[in-house]
Structure 1
């Protein structure tokens, strides 16, 4: 019961954090409340404008900046824009400041929108009106999960099997160790770029686009996102299990097993896997988080309209639904972590062999 409550508190904390951070920009003010910029018509003079509006004064004649009373800025800005010598007025960008009142109001409006069933909108370049994100969510979710889930399982499988091969065949392990160190040093976007270059080379050799590199209308890349999502989690799992297997080789029960005449594969599969299962189940949640990060990167770089990359898609003018899609990805991560926490409590023995 205590673990369930802890898990719920973590989930609520993460979702609350997403809500707070997603609205943070609405509390940051970069527009001066006491200055406006005036663009004059040919022959116009800034002094005439200031004389026509008592309470204003010139602060930078070259830039056209004039100071106005803070409480009357909006009214005076509209009036000054209609002056016969003024072409238009512009806001003055100043040092960023945080307005707690604006931020609190934005949070209240966001919560009210959620309670009213409005989870954000997506503004398309080709459409005059934005559409609710809920209209696109099923397709976005289906598209992202189509390579996230298989890519994650592929990464887990590859990392686990590679670790077994490394401990079974020490010479192969040295090669795999070098490859793992190299992969872990690469940023996500570089992995995607390498995969795209490799796909281009294969397409040229084949003489036709056998591997889709970017999303085009309804054609969505599958192989590149799946591989990009699987590579780094596989390297992470491999490194963790490699250390765990090395640790177990030093234990006394291994020498006992050898003294009984067991072969190296028997020692690995019968004894060592049991003692390293906790390490394996513990690293999976972190691998899931890494896979989600790779999902966002690969969708951005391949132009896929999915949960991670839709906000910067070239066809999107603006979005107000980032908190919603981030919450969905966070929910997926929390679900996986919860499942593996249950597995750890039920599968992993409390007293390891040889302890």
Structure 2
């Protein structure tokens, strides 16, 4: 029971950390957080405008400067533009960007207040319809879109890395070739691999002479193959390296030597005995591989312009003032759900033995 309590506490602290870090950009200010600048025509005076914007006061009537409640400059700027007689409304830039803990604290408190008192996770503007969409309604669609290629890609990564690692252990020549390919892939940046996959899809389309693969998201049509291969390829490289080391370790054990001496082939030993004994190593690397898959998914969605969970965070067209932290927390929950699954699998499949001291 204490162990469960510690893990729950760690999960809560992790989510709080994700929430705080996802708002770190709010700490960097390039505009005055409590001022706006307006230009009006003869039909309205600055005094009248100030009265129509509750909580504001005139700082400089000649320059059209208004002081507004702290942190609400963006809201008041938009409201001012709806008032008849206002020709222009803009923020007031600072001479140089500054780091403001006050504004960071203000935005975090505002989000927490909206979340717990109103259940408001934030909003964003859809780049296609130009309408504001609430995150609470958009998250299920984003999650479903992401899972259509994330889960199959992760499953393929597990199967691919396991089979290739076993294949590399059949003969030294095959192992040397596959280890060389693995070393090459490890040295390449994830972004470069994704671009290569995308270029391959483009050249395949040119070679065939007609449309073959969807490269970027167009309306409701979402690319599948590019993010799917990206998620499958990058984590499998990490898992392959771990499994190769684990299999080499097991091949040096006494039970393998005995099995080979009794007439079993190397392939039979690998699939019947070694594979079962490297299960713990596989389950140990899976959390890291899943994190890599999530990062690869975000990059692939950004490159392909997909409005999934990862693409929402990276693509500027989807980013909103109050919605970034909500999506980051959801991604954190997805990663934690997989980690819980792996912990349950370890408990179920990994057999632990303990030595008992003689009395």
Structure 2 length normalisation: TM-score?
0.79
Q: What secondary structure, in the 3-state scheme, does the structure 2 residue paired with 1:257 have?
A: helix
Tell which structure's C-alpha radius of gyration is larger: 1
Alpha-carbon distance in structure 2 between the residues aligned to 1:129 and 1:163: 49
Structure 1's consecutive aligned runs of 4 or more residues displaced over 6 angstroms after TM superposition are: none
Instruction: Let me know the Cα RMSD of the aligned residues.
Output: 2.8
1:249-299 per-position Cα deviation (integer Å, ceiling 9, x unaligned) = 222222222222222122212322232111011111111000000010000
Q: 1:32–1:304: structure 2 CA closer, same or farther, 3 Å change rule?
A: closer
Alpha-carbon distance in structure 1 between the residues aligned to 2:346 and 2:186: 26
Name the residue aligned to 2:106: 105
Residue pairs, 1:62-141, within 5 angstroms:
77-82=59-64, 90-94=92-96, 96-99=98-101, 101-115=102-116, 116-124=118-126, 130-141=132-143
Residue pairs, 1:194-205, within 5 angstroms:
194-205=196-207
Q: 1:128–1:218: structure 2 CA closer, same or farther, 3 Å change rule?
A: closer
Alpha-carbon distance in structure 1 between the residues aligned to 2:105 and 2:216: 40
1:137-168 per-position Cα deviation (integer Å, ceiling 9, x unaligned) = 22211111111010111111100111111112
Q: 1:315–1:110: structure 2 CA closer, same or farther, 3 Å change rule?
A: closer
Name the residue aligned to 2:357: none
Q: 1:213–1:205: structure 2 CA closer, same or farther, 3 Å change rule?
A: same
1:303-354 per-position Cα deviation (integer Å, ceiling 9, x unaligned) = 01111112454754735212111112111111111111121122111139xx
Q: Which runs of 5+ in 2 are unaligned?
A: 38-55, 66-87, 355-359
Name the residue aligned to 1:261: 263
1:26 and 1:102 in contact (8 A); partners too: yes
Q: Which runs of 5+ in 1 are unaligned?
A: 38-73
1:245 and 1:276 in contact (8 A); partners too: yes
Residue pairs, 1:139-218, within 5 angstroms:
139-218=141-220
Number of residue pairs matched by the alignment: 312
Q: 1:141–1:89: structure 2 CA closer, same or farther, 3 Å change rule?
A: closer
Which is worse superposed, 255-264 or 335-344? 255-264
Q: 1:77–1:185: structure 2 CA closer, same or farther, 3 Å change rule?
A: farther
1:77 and 1:89 in contact (8 A); partners too: no
1:311 and 1:319 in contact (8 A); partners too: no
1:107-142 per-position Cα deviation (integer Å, ceiling 9, x unaligned) = 221111111110010023566652211222222111
2:32 and 2:92 in contact (8 A); partners too: no
> Cα distance, 1:175 vs. partner?
1.4
Q: What secondary structure, in the 3-state scheme, does the structure 2 residue paired with 1:7 have?
A: helix
> Cα distance, 1:185 vs. partner?
1.6
> Cα distance, 1:75 vs. partner?
5.9
Alpha-carbon distance in structure 2 between the residues aligned to 1:346 and 1:316: 41
Q: 1:230–1:96: structure 2 CA closer, same or farther, 3 Å change rule?
A: same
Residue pairs, 1:174-323, within 5 angstroms:
174-313=176-315, 315-316=317-318, 318-323=320-325
1:80 and 1:89 in contact (8 A); partners too: no
Alpha-carbon distance in structure 2 between the residues aligned to 1:126 and 1:255: 64
